[in-house]
Amino acid sequence: MTRLVLEGLRRTYGPTVAVDRVDLEVAQGELVALLGPSGCGKTTTLRMVAGFVAPTAGRILIGGKDVTSAPPYGRDTGMVFQGYALFPHMTVAENVGFGLEMRRVGRAERDTRIAEALRLVRLDGYGERRITQMSGGQQQRVALARALVVNPGVFLLDEPLSNLDARLRAEVRVEIRALQQRLGLTTLFVTHDQEEALTMADRMVVMDHGRVRQIGPPEELYERPADLFVAGFLGRCNTFRGRVESPGTFRAGAIALPCDGGTPGITSAMVVRPERVAIDRTTGRLPGRIAMVTYLGGLTDWHVQTDAGTVLVTRPTPTDGDALRHLAPGDPVHLDWSPAAGRLLPDENPTDPTTGVSA
């Protein structure tokens, strides 16, 4: 049932290694999100799959067929480009029909399929409009229709929501996911937005400097990141540096903190998600003082100064009568977490003594 296979995919530009030995399998109907910071090789990976960039090494298989050197129109892929890349001088219908024309689909069938694709993205009746007469969100739908109209075996999207405002983005996110599931489309979705990836993907691939750091379902990457890069890239975390004193106890300087198991003596890093930290006025293993309070509506962030560095705590905003309701800078508090919340990771930069919050 594997639809798309990337084997040892690599692309260099002179001395720049844009993509480095990427192995990935996407199952039929699965949505895999490629996530990573700017320049990590997401677009290059997608363009290699679509056939717009030739790999320096490696193979691409679609539906069991090696398409590594096939032209874009011989690959059974539909792509939504970063920034859409619509043709501004053409009408909506001409844009959507472009791939069909390239595939030499006859006029009558083309018109039927264009109308179908426009209906799919809820733009029926807009066919004769010029691209310049469409809003950003509508253009985004035209780009989706243009990719979908060819009934692609593999659907490729490169940051398709980045030009939309936050509200529309959240809406279209749900629409794309529903459409993808309804049509059972095998999809590779590029984004640098972790929330987008967490909410939409069956599995995620976190990339850094052309390489895959970790592949897995969203919960796994968030709860059990393989390294500090993945932990820090997906959501916020508190990072402590030190060593395991005994299984379940991590020593950061003079401070003993709960951790998830561990082998005594090993120097490592420990990460704790801010929502896993308990905060209380009187009890808890790690004493500190409030440095800053940030009200986020339903949630509140407390930055707490401790002997193990500044610790970020995120909890539902306390209601009236709750002892935490009026915590203010300078107030003493106690922090704690269950051992399972203190995840031990290899310390990639053991000479860096910093301990604290990364956002």
Q: How far is the CB of 267 from Mg ion (least distance, A)?
A: 36
Q: How far is the CB of 17 from ligand ATP (least distance, A)?
A: 8
What residue type is assigned to position 166 of the chain?
Answer: A
Q: How far is the CB of 92 from ligand ATP (least distance, A)?
A: 26
Cβ-based nearer residue to ligand ATP, 20 or 347? 20
d(CA 175, CA 353): 45
Cβ-based nearer residue to ligand ATP, 47 or 146? 47
Taking CB within 5 to 8 Å according to partner kind, which of ligand ATP, Mg ion, none is near residue 39?
A: ligand ATP
45-66 burial by CB neighbour count: b if 16+ within 10 A, else e? bbbbbbbebebeebebbbeeee
Q: How far is the CB of 36 from Mg ion (least distance, A)?
A: 10
Q: How far is the CB of 131 from ligand ATP (least distance, A)?
A: 22
Q: Token digits for 192?
A: 């640098």
Residue 36 gets the label, from left (phi > 0), alpha (psi -120 to 50) or beta, of: left
Q: Token digits for 60?
A: 């691409």
Q: How far is the CB of 215 from Mg ion (least distance, A)?
A: 19
d(CA 37, CA 40): 6
Cβ-based nearer residue to ligand ATP, 36 or 288? 36
Q: How far is the CB of 150 from ligand ATP (least distance, A)?
A: 23
- Number of residue whose CB is nearest Mg ion: 43
Instruction: Kindly list the residues in this chain that would bind Mg ion in the complex (CB under 5 A).
Output: 43
What is the CA angle 221-260-263, rounded to 5?
115
CB 224 within 8 A of CB 258: no
CB 297 within 8 A of CB 349: no
What residue type is assigned to position 20 of the chain?
Answer: D
Distance of CA 298 to the CA centre of its chain: 24
Q: How far is the CB of 158 from ligand ATP (least distance, A)?
A: 7
Cβ-based nearer residue to ligand ATP, 206 or 279? 206
For 248-315, give the DSSP string: TEEEETTEEEE-S---TT-EEEEEE-GGG-EEESS--SEEEEEEEEEE-SSEEEEEEEETTEEEEEEE
Cβ-based nearer residue to Mg ion, 19 or 272? 19
Taking CB within 5 to 8 Å according to partner kind, which of Mg ion, ligand ATP, none is near residue 276?
A: none
Taking CB within 5 to 8 Å according to partner kind, which of Mg ion, ligand ATP, none is near residue 132?
A: none
Instruction: Kindly list the residues in this chain that would bind ligand ATP in the complex (CB under 6 A).
Output: 13, 16, 18, 36, 38-44, 82, 192
192's CB contacts (< 8 A; 6+ apart) are 35, 36, 37, 38, 42, 159
Cβ-based nearer residue to ligand ATP, 41 or 97? 41
Cβ-based nearer residue to ligand ATP, 47 or 110? 47
Cβ-based nearer residue to ligand ATP, 190 or 257? 190
Taking CB within 5 to 8 Å according to partner kind, which of Mg ion, ligand ATP, none is near residue 18?
A: ligand ATP
235's CB contacts (< 8 A; 6+ apart) are 194, 222, 273
Tell me if residue 25 falls in helix, strand or coil.
strand
